[in-house]
């Protein structure tokens, strides 16, 4: 203890970094190792069958090399996925139909649009629930019910209904994204708008504040920590919703379509690449909201 | 200023009706400093809240400045100070004092002048730009008093404003409050359960007792308006404190 405390600041920073990075790296290494083992095991059958058909006997090293280099592996190895990702991101013109950046943008734009609609709807419903007795007692069961319906069942219907009205592309996907993302915002904001305690509400009453003044000056600012917590859930849900909206037949653009076409043609590397692109996108979006949250709450003096 | 005749307030609870206040008669004159003292459940806070129109009496009549409490509130007759400062963390001290002024529709220049004046009054000049977390508990409570003073209400209602502070800070704030009261001539209603605090501050001490909440004694203080902290060692002060203690014991007769 005393040694660490007396160490130079640079040294301490390095120790801190090590202390934080080490567990993460250990877990990552373990996952990669298990993944490689899994790839060898799952692709082994195919390699053995091929060898038997060609009447050759493989050395262990040759066997492993082949399981990790198949064109259409059951489970592609990490380095294959990494190569696929690199090829999809850097190896294409950005406007190419094979570019993951282009597909990612298609998905991202619908996600952001859906997230915007969902957030707005969630906040408006929460405001209604907090201020109106009838809404307080009637809206929540419907909101909960809307989330229990499998999104996989709803998504194709939304796409078909909109398509029959001549609307395709971003909007129907955004609606599905909004369907998933409004709920966490609704729940978070109902809680958030109700955080001011009796004393703070009494104080407002003692100044004869109107309900609008009470809302803008007390309830809304108080709800900010809750809003940001639910926005993080909501944006991830919006991404899932968008990808699900891209799955129904006919979609040709977006990470969801990339997943689907990959599975049509047995392009497992393509599926996994799209999957990782989607995961990275989700992580980036959540981190972005986290950064905005830190900034806003710090400015408001509400940061923990 | 405040006139109560036969005021009663009954809460309907799951265990049946509870008499929070019963037959309360009290007259508070302009410039009085009235303390309400009694054990918890005696209705002292409830009475203050009724004056502020935060509760409605179920019996009797209550007049504030000759109006119903509701009308008096709309006429900005009083400022209310709670036990906790209740300052908004996202507003500066000046911003917090500005809040009721914004709600009541004061103009920008007027607001700035009022904020400067009340900050001076509670000895917080120069702290307007600070955020609440940068101030000590005592300073935060002073800021909340400044907020209650900013819109020039004649009456200041204080519900155990120093209850959460330590003894030393409390002494200093009591002294400052007395100073403020003399300077502004406000009428002050002050809820406390500290006998020395009540005796030190008040021109009139209202002793209350629970079940049902009622007034058992009203004591007019013979102490002079100029009260250094040392007055608490004088025989007059000790005799008055004794009388208050007697009053409290009386109300507890059947406990």
Q: Find the CATH number of the domain harbouring A175.
A: 1.10.3720.10
Structure tokens at B214: 């009622």
Domain count, chain A: 2
Assigned domain for A162 exists: yes
Statement: residue A1 has pLDDT above 50? no
Assigned domain for A111 exists: yes
List of chain B residues whose C-beta atoms are within 8 Å of the C-beta of residue A200: 86
For A221, which of B52, B88, B131 is closest by C-beta distance? B88
Whether residue A231 contacts residue A119, with contact meaning beta carbons closer than 8 Å, is answered with yes
pLDDT tens-digit readout, A15-63 = 777 788 888 899 999 999 999 999 999 999 999 998 899 888 888 899 9
Assigned domain for A150 exists: yes
Assigned domain for A295 exists: yes
Residue linked to tokens 């709600």: B103
Q: Where do runs of H (alpha helix) occur along chain A? A: 2-6, 9-54, 60-67, 78-90, 100-131, 133-148, 151-164, 170-193, 198-206, 211-214, 220-245, 255-264, 268-300
Nearest CA to CA, how far is A290 from chain B (Å)? 19
Going by pLDDT thresholds of 50, 70 and 90, the confidence category of residue A250 is low
Containing structural domain, residue A199 = 100-300
List of chain A residues whose C-beta atoms are within 8 Å of the C-beta of residue B76: 208
pLDDT tens-digit readout, A102-113 = 999 999 999 999
Could you tell me if A178 and A292 lie in one domain?
yes
Beta-sheet pairing, B33-37 with B187-192: parallel
Could you tell me if A123 and A23 lie in one domain?
no
Q: pTM (2 decimals)? A: 0.82
Mean confidence (pLDDT) of chain B = 90
Could you tell me if A58 and A134 lie in one domain?
no
In the sheet where B59-64 sits, what is the strand order? B16-28, B2-13, B59-64
Per-residue confidence (pLDDT) for residue A96, from 0 to 100? 83
Assigned domain for A85 exists: no
List of chain B residues whose C-beta atoms are within 8 Å of the C-beta of residue A295: none
Average pLDDT for B132-157: 92
Could you tell me if A127 and A255 lie in one domain?
yes
Assigned domain for A90 exists: no
Range of A249-253, B20-24, B155-159, B222-226 with top mean pLDDT? B155-159
A164 touches B at CB < 8 Å: no
Best interface-test mutation with B: which of A198, A203, A304 has the largest number of B CBs within 10 A?
Answer: A203
List of chain B residues whose C-beta atoms are within 8 Å of the C-beta of residue A209: 103
For A221, which of B54, B90, B102 is closest by C-beta distance? B90
Could you tell me if A15 and A160 lie in one domain?
no
Going by pLDDT thresholds of 50, 70 and 90, the confidence category of residue A95 is confident
List of chain B residues whose C-beta atoms are within 8 Å of the C-beta of residue A299: 90
Could you tell me if A59 and A163 lie in one domain?
no
Nearest CA to CA, how far is A205 from chain B (Å)? 8
Could you tell me if A114 and A235 lie in one domain?
yes
Give the homologous superfamily in CATH for domain B1-65+154-255: P-loop containing nucleotide triphosphate hydrolases (3.40.50.300)
Residue linked to tokens 């989700």: A282
Average pLDDT for B193-202: 91
User: How many residue pairs bridge chain A and chain B with CB atoms within 8 Å of each other?
Assistant: 48
Per-residue confidence (pLDDT) for residue B15, from 0 to 100? 85
**Angle at which helices B108-121 and B167-184 cross, to 10°:** 120
pLDDT tens-digit readout, B126-140 = 999 999 999 999 999
Could you tell me if A194 and A267 lie in one domain?
yes
List of chain A residues whose C-beta atoms are within 8 Å of the C-beta of residue B100: 207
Chain A residues 186-205 within an 8 A CB cutoff of chain B: 199-200, 202-205
Could you tell me if A143 and A290 lie in one domain?
yes
- Give me the residue spans of the domains in chain B: 1-65+154-255, 86-153
Could you tell me if A176 and A56 lie in one domain?
no
Taking phi first (over 0 means left), then psi (-120 to 50 degrees means alpha), and beta for anything else, what does residue B65 get? left
Could you tell me if A216 and A277 lie in one domain?
yes
Please report, rounded to a whole number, the percentage of residues in chain A having pLDDT higher than 70: 96
Q: How far is CA A14 from CA A21, A24, A28, A217, in A?
A: 10, 15, 20, 44
């Amino acid at each position: 203890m005393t040694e660490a405390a007396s160490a130079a600041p640079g040294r301490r920073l390095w120790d801190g970094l090590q202390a934080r990075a080490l567990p993460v790296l250990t877990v990552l290494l373990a996952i990669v190792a298990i993944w490689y083992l899994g790839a060898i095991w799952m692709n082994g059958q195919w390699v053995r069958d091929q060898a038997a058909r060609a009447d050759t006997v493989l050395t262990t090293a040759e066997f492993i090399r082949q399981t990790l280099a198949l064109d259409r592996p059951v489970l592609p190895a990490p380095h294959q996925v990494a190569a696929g990702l690199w090829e999809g991101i850097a190896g294409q013109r950005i406007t190419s139909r094979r570019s993951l950046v282009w597909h990612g943008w298609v998905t991202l734009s619908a996600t952001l649009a859906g997230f915007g609609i969902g957030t707005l709807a969630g906040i408006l419903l929460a405001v209604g629930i907090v201020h109106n007795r009838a809404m307080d007692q009637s809206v929540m069961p419907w909101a909960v019910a809307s989330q229990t319906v499998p999104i996989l069942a709803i998504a194709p219907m939304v796409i078909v209904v909109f398509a029959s009205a001549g609307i395709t592309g971003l909007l129907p996907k955004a609606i599905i994204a909004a369907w998933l993302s409004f709920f966490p915002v609704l729940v978070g904001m109902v809680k958030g708008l109700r955080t001011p305690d009796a004393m703070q509400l009494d104080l407002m009453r003692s100044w004869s504040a109107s309900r609008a003044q009470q809302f803008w000056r007390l309830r809304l600012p108080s709800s900010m920590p809750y809003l940001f917590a639910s926005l993080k859930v909501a944006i991830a849900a919006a991404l899932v919703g968008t990808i699900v909206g891209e799955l129904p037949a006919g979609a040709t653009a977006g990470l969801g379509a990339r997943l689907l076409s990959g599975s049509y043609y047995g392009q497992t590397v393509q599926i996994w690449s799209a999957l990782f692109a989607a995961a990275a996108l989700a992580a980036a979006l959540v981190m972005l909201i986290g950064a905005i949250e830190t900034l806003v709450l710090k400015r408001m003096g509400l940061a923990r | 200023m405040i006139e109560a005749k036969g005021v009663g307030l009954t809460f309907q609870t799951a265990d049946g009706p509870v008499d929070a206040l019963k037959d309360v008669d009290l007259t508070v004159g302009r410039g009085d400093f009235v303390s309400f003292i009694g054990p918890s459940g005696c209705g002292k806070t409830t009475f203050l809240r009724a004056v502020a129109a935060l509760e409605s009496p179920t019996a009797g009549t209550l007049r504030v400045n000759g109006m119903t409490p509701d009308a008096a509130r709309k006429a900005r007759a009083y400022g209310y100070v709670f036990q906790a400062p209740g300052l908004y963390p996202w507003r500066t001290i000046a911003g917090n004092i500005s809040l009721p002024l914004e709600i009541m529709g004061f103009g920008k220049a007027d607001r700035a002048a009022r904020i400067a004046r009340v900050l001076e009054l509670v000895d917080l000049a120069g702290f307007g730009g600070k955020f609440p977390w940068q101030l000590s508990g005592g300073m935060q409570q002073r800021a909340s008093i400044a907020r209650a003073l900013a819109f020039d209400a004649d009456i200041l209602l204080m519900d155990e404003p120093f209850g959460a502070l330590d003894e030393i800070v409390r002494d200093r704030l009591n002294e400052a409050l007395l100073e403020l009261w003399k300077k502004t001539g406000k009428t002050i209603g002050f809820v406390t359960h500290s006998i020395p605090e009540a005796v030190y501050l008040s021109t009139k001490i209202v002793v209350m007792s629970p079940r049902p909440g009622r007034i058992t004694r009203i004591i007019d203080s013979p102490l002079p308006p100029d009260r250094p902290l040392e007055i608490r060692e004088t025989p007059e002060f000790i005799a008055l404190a004794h009388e208050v203690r007697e009053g409290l014991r009386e109300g507890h007769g059947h406990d």
